[in-house]
Amino acid sequence: MYNIYEQKRCARCILPSDFPNISFDENGVCNYCRNWDKSWKNFDYLKAEQKLIKIFEEAKSKKRQYDCLIPFSGGRDSSYVLLLAKKKYKLNPLVVTFNNGFLSEFALKNILNSVKILGVDHILHSYNWDHLKRMYQSTVKNSGEFCSICANGINYVKIVYQKKYDIPLLISGGSSRVDEQSPFEIISSHPKYVKNVLRKDAFSEDEINNFILPRRYDLNAIDQIKNKIKKDDYVRISLPDFMPWNLDKIQDILMKELNWKTPNKKDDHIDCKYANVKTYFKNQQIPGFVFKQAKYSQLIRDGQLTREEALVQLQVLIEKEQEPANLNEFIEELELSSDDIKNLDKKSHLNFINKNNLKDKESFLYKAIAMPYRLVKSL
């Protein structure tokens, strides 16, 4: 039995010494904790709130059909984003859900309750299931994961509906403060990686490019300028970057205000019925690795969990680690075989992409032309 106490770990969080790109200072504190402190330790919430209100007022001043677009999974974070946007900040949002085929019953009920109670327009976008299933099959067989397809589906609906309705602002609930910040070596949903996997399985370029769209923050400077000229550039913010984001308090508020349900207040990603399969695959893929440790470490840094509590919970997860009860259901739904999920330790996104080809290479001329834009963006 793997014992977490036998491995050197950060003296502040619980990241182990073999975590990618980790280093420790003279006090045994890791670089991930130090980097977190630079962003969040002395964060000025009052100033951030003022900036947030200014962003919202600017969006309202556009007088479009919708003030903002909110990607909505029915999970905790996106539900709270929707609640605040509508009730506190008086925005008129378009709410859009990407139907990844794996929405849980809790997510569906939360979605229906929330849009009804708050009185907002909502779109449930379902992509061709046969095509989506083939993409899931491809990433599972080749890389031992399937979340990258869902992530790119969410990116797809963001871009499609923000452009269709000319919505000036997109608000998400992802948090660099309390969500796990897994390095590229552990997990990736980068469009270039997914495209490389799908090409290996003989997907056509049209099939790939009609669904796997470039993420806005991956665009080079020239493409960003082109988007501005075409008025195809929008403000994107993550609400947890502007305010405290205490998970227990948020869930209590959601239960009271939106009749929000969860099977377990300690569970993340209740919106996906196969979230446990994703975690199981990742833990099998990297021997001795526990996917939850990155999340626990973030909560420790934010003061929502003690290091001792996190270590106890981590050891419990390791001792209880076993094949998920719904693994066969997952295999059957995607029409896989048991052989398709064997040898997970030999499968990885790193077989299809590396850090050197994440970004589009720009010529010297493009860099020179884009320099004024980069300077303005940095101010």
- What fold, for 44-273+348-379? Rossmann fold (3.40.50)
- Taking a C-beta distance cutoff of 8 angstroms, is the pair 284, 290 a contact? no
For the CA atoms of 298, 302, 303, 309, the dihedral, rounded to the nearest 10 degrees, stands at 0
- Taking a C-beta distance cutoff of 8 angstroms, is the pair 260, 194 a contact? no
Task: Identify the helix (H) or strand (E) that includes residue 94.
Answer: strand 93-99
Number of other CB atoms surrounding residue 204 within 10 Å: 10
Q: Where are the alpha helices (DSSP H) in the chain?
A: 31-40, 45-61, 76-83, 105-118, 129-143, 147-164, 191-200, 205-209, 221-229, 247-258, 275-285, 292-301, 307-320, 327-333, 364-378
Distance (Å, whole) CA 214 – CA 236: 15
- Taking a C-beta distance cutoff of 8 angstroms, is the pair 110, 79 a contact? yes
- Taking a C-beta distance cutoff of 8 angstroms, is the pair 85, 167 a contact? no
CA neighbor of 189 nearest in space, from 223, 145, 225: 145
* pLDDT exceeds cutoff 70 at 96: yes
For the CA atoms of 96, 63, 47, 40, the dihedral, rounded to the nearest 10 degrees, stands at 20
In this prediction, residue 7 carries a pLDDT of 87
In this prediction, residue 266 carries a pLDDT of 77
Distance (Å, whole) CA 135 – CA 197: 9
- 352 Cα distance to chain centroid: 20
Mean pLDDT of 180-190: 90
The residue assigned the tokens 């402190």 is 37
In this prediction, residue 357 carries a pLDDT of 72
Mean pLDDT of 84-89: 98
Q: Is 63 exposed, middle or buried (0-12, 13-18, 19+ CB in 10 A)?
A: exposed
Task: Identify the helix (H) or strand (E) that includes residue 246.
Answer: none
114-133 residue pLDDT tens: 999 999 999 999 999 999 99
Strand partners, 97: 124
> Which letter does DSSP use for residue 85 in this model?
I
Read off the pLDDT band of 230 (50, 70, 90): low
In this prediction, residue 6 carries a pLDDT of 78
Helix (H, G, I), strand (E, B) or coil at 191: helix
* Boundaries of every domain in the chain: 1-42+288-344, 44-273+348-379
314-335 residue pLDDT tens: 988 888 778 999 999 999 999 9
186-207 residue pLDDT tens: 999 999 999 999 999 999 999 9
In this prediction, residue 369 carries a pLDDT of 54
- Residue 40 tokens, joined: 């969040």
Distance (Å, whole) CA 307 – CA 229: 49
Question: In Å, how far are 60, 66, 91, 92, 145 from 63, measured between CA atoms?
Answer: 6, 8, 11, 10, 42
Strand partners, 16: 9
> Which letter does DSSP use for residue 266 in this model?
T
- Taking a C-beta distance cutoff of 8 angstroms, is the pair 55, 40 a contact? no
- Taking a C-beta distance cutoff of 8 angstroms, is the pair 69, 96 a contact? yes
Distance (Å, whole) CA 59 – CA 91: 9
Distance (Å, whole) CA 305 – CA 299: 5
